[in-house]
A and B are shown apart, each in its own frame.
Chain A
Amino acid sequence: MNLFEQRRVNENGRAGSVAVGSRAMTLGSAAVAPAPAADIAEVSSSMRAASGASAGAAARAQTSTAPIIAAENLRTYYGHNEVLKGVSLKLPQRSLTALIGPSGCGKTTFLRTLNRMNDHIPGFRVEGKVLVDGRDIYAPDVDPVLLRRRVGMVFQRPNPFPLSILANVTWGLRGHGLSRKEQRERAEESLMKAGLWDEVKDRLKEPALRLSGGQQQRLCIARALAVRPDILLMDEPTSALDPRASTKIEELMLELKKEYTVVLVSHNMHQARRVSDQCAFFLHGEVVEYGPTEQVFENPQDERTSAYVSGRLG
């Protein structure tokens, strides 16, 4: 299945018709070439309409064992500086994978290759493969703009736009062909998922910058969810927050991983342990150890991992 088609099959669809389904098929092949955004949005919504609940369940059953993200011998360079030195990782769907490791080992770099955010950095280069749903996201026919609608990102520092709360959440919906009302509903849905709705529902028109740091970060999560990604990348999302705000976001992560594939970079061992299902330990651009979180923390196979998780390293 195409990278951008499969995205919506699990959503509760409106009643659809067969004709819509066949249209999606033809559009699907067109989507191999970089297509304008509107077309893709149409594909996904018609897919949504076409696939009944059973089709959605089937798709889920089919993919739940397969990894949604797979890096194969991934090497990245900033100019001549090789930062990732052959990383291979398979991240399963609908779970939370934590990336841990000392500063400068390449966690952020890895995360940002997953939604091609590093494309903009002069001199940045990728070797090897990153597959999302089996499709190489660095293939020439993949449009990074569409990829990023599927692979959302939350940054280390909350970075809301200097606009109203509502405008922040609906920001990414431009070009999705939604009416005002639909956008508003989408905003409400996303704010609820981000656990922020109750705090902001009476002041959606207020400037987002008036929110507290923790609220801003949850707003950024809501903003990312509004685009309906399948994958959510989080780069130390709590490191700029106080403990209480961090706890809130950790609780949120536990909710999110039921529905999304979450990749989390964390410097906080307790956090990684509490929220993640798998854990990858990075060191000097290589993955030293990758396994179920339990095992990585309780019974690490590599001496360096045990040194790191017990606080003896980095």
Chain B
Amino acid sequence: MTHEKLETAKLGELAFRGATAAAASSILALAAVYAVQMTTNSWESIVRFGWDFVTGTAWDPVSDVYGALPFIWGTVVSSLVALVLAVPLSIGLAAYLSEVAPVRIRRIVEFFVELLAAIPSVVYGLWGIFVLVPFVREHVQPFLQNTLGFLPLFQGPPFGYGMLTAGILLAIMILPIITSLTREALHAVPIAQREASLALGSTRWETIRHAVLPYNKSGIIAAIVLGLGRALGETMAVTMVIGNVPLISPSLFMPGQTVASLLANEFAEVSGGLYLSALTELGLLLFGVTFILNVVTRLFVPLVSRKVGGAAEGRRQLT
């Protein structure tokens, strides 16, 4: 390489570094600006209501009283229902794909899982309205009422629209992300761990259950937390099936409303003032929670890759 060429290469390198650094910092700046702006815009509401904002149950734009508890409740409950349904299924599916499935079946199933991830939210919502809601109303809710009806969770009239349906729909929507991240986590478990277990006369199931899954617990937790983040923020599909009534009820059959669905419903009609400020504070709340969840996962994930970094040698599948 001639001297000039070397110089040009150096320049290119510098330019590249500059560009990437700029891109990276602009994202940081964007997030910061976003947080600051949302805080200023919701300041009026923050000052006015303080903690009452998150503990209050009345949401009344007419008399300018804003308490967001029903929406927080709706968000948390629908997301929890989704997690309860999706986590075992996703982990089971991931374990099957990574440890058991023959290559051909694995490819097919993975294709469908990825497909699920690619479907737009509004399509899920439509499917929810036309398929899931009637199905839940006619089959799932009567069944639950007959078998587990003694629990407050499953009491009340079967509307179809409500927390349960929202939870089920969310579960389907977060299944792909939890599954693929869990699979990734299992992939990072060294083959030597599996062989150690098998060589001791453990069955394949025992090996998955006791050697493979626990080895990368934090990776799996990260997958779940990211799935939760997705569920908390999901707007469109949930809005379409949850019923949009700000209720705090122990029953999953009752309608509810989430923070995200409230925002989607009411931002169109807001005029300004305290109302806008309160809505913005809700947005800030959601932003904060998602942000914290992501930070928490980041704290987990480097730990995972460090732990398995040296052991990535054997990535052979165990079938």
Residues of A within 8 A of B (CB): 37, 115, 117, 120-122, 145-146, 148-149, 152-153, 155, 157, 159-162, 171-172, 174-175, 220, 223-224, 227
Could you say which residues of chain A place their CB within 8 Å of the CB of B318? 120
Q: Is the CB of B192 within 8 A of A171?
A: no
Q: Please report the C-alpha to C-alpha distance between residue A272 and residue B103 in the assembled complex, in whole angstroms.
A: 40
Q: Which of the residues B192, B199, B210, B211 comes within 8 Å of A224, measured between beta carbons?
A: B199
Assess whether B57 is interfacial by the CB under 8 Å rule. Answer: no
Could you say which residues of chain B place their CB within 8 Å of the CB of A159? 190, 192-193, 195-196
Residues of B within 8 A of A (CB): 103, 190, 192-193, 195-203, 206, 210-211, 215, 316-319
Q: Which of the residues B198, B206, B316 comes within 8 Å of A117, measured between beta carbons?
A: B198
Residue of B nearest to A153 (CB): B199
Q: Please report the C-alpha to C-alpha distance between residue A88 and residue B217 in the assembled complex, in whole angstroms.
A: 45
What is the distance, in angstroms, from A265's C-beta to the closest C-beta of chain B? 15
Q: How many residue pairs bridge A and B at CB < 8 Å?
A: 61
Q: Is the CB of A115 within 8 A of B199?
A: yes
What is the distance, in angstroms, from B183's C-beta to the closest C-beta of chain A? 18
Q: Is the CB of B203 within 8 A of A37?
A: yes
Known A-B contacts A122-B103, A122-B317, A162-B215; the reply to A145 vs B201 at CB < 8 A is yes
Residue of A nearest to B199 (CB): A153
What is the distance, in angstroms, from B315's C-beta to the closest C-beta of chain A? 13
Could you say which residues of chain A place their CB within 8 Å of the CB of B193? 159, 161
Q: Which of the residues A37, A117, A162 comes within 8 Å of B199, measured between beta carbons?
A: A117
Q: Which of the residues B192, B200, B210 comes within 8 Å of A152, measured between beta carbons?
A: B200
The 7 closest A-B pairs by CB, nearest first: A172-B200, A149-B201, A159-B192, A153-B199, A148-B201, A159-B196, A120-B318
Known A-B contacts A122-B319, A159-B192; the reply to A172 vs B201 at CB < 8 A is yes
Q: Is the CB of B210 within 8 A of A174?
A: yes
Q: Which of the residues B200, B203, B215, B319 comes within 8 Å of A120, measured between beta carbons?
A: B319
What is the distance, in angstroms, from A171's C-beta to the closest C-beta of chain B? 6
Known A-B contacts A122-B319, A161-B211, A174-B210; the reply to A155 vs B196 at CB < 8 A is yes
Could you say which residues of chain A place their CB within 8 Å of the CB of B192? 155, 157, 159
Q: Please report the C-alpha to C-alpha distance between residue A261 and residue B316 in the assembled complex, in whole angstroms.
A: 30
Could you say which residues of chain B place their CB within 8 Å of the CB of A224? 199-200
Q: Please report the C-alpha to C-alpha distance between residue A107 and residue B279 in the assembled complex, in whole angstroms.
A: 70
Q: Can you list 12 residue pairs at the A/B interface with Cβ under 8 Å? A: A115-B199, A117-B198, A121-B316, A155-B192, A155-B195, A159-B196, A171-B202, A172-B200, A172-B201, A174-B202, A174-B210, A227-B200
Known A-B contacts A121-B316, A159-B192, A161-B211; the reply to A145 vs B203 at CB < 8 A is yes
Q: Please report the C-alpha to C-alpha distance between residue A171 and residue B198 in the assembled complex, in whole angstroms.
A: 11
Q: Please report the C-alpha to C-alpha distance between residue A161 and residue B198 in the assembled complex, in whole angstroms.
A: 12
Q: Please report the C-alpha to C-alpha distance between residue A172 and residue B103 in the assembled complex, in whole angstroms.
A: 29
Residue of B nearest to A115 (CB): B199
| Most chain A CB atoms below 10 A, which of B200, B206, B316 | B200
What is the distance, in angstroms, from A226's C-beta to the closest C-beta of chain B? 8
Q: Please report the C-alpha to C-alpha distance between residue A224 and residue B199 in the assembled complex, in whole angstroms.
A: 8
Could you say which residues of chain A place their CB within 8 Å of the CB of B319? 120, 122
Residue of B nearest to A40 (CB): B201
Q: Is the CB of B200 within 8 A of A175?
A: no
Q: Which of the residues A122, A146, A155, A220 comes within 8 Å of B201, measured between beta carbons?
A: A146
Q: Please report the C-alpha to C-alpha distance between residue A54 and residue B202 in the assembled complex, in whole angstroms.
A: 33
Known: A161-B211, A172-B201, A175-B206; 17 extra A-B contacts, CB below 8 A, are A120-B318, A121-B316, A122-B103, A122-B319, A145-B202, A146-B201, A148-B198, A148-B199, A153-B195, A153-B199, A155-B192, A155-B199, A161-B193, A171-B202, A174-B210, A220-B196, A223-B196
Known A-B contacts A120-B318, A146-B201; the reply to A174 vs B206 at CB < 8 A is yes
Could you say which residues of chain B place their CB within 8 Å of the CB of A146? 201
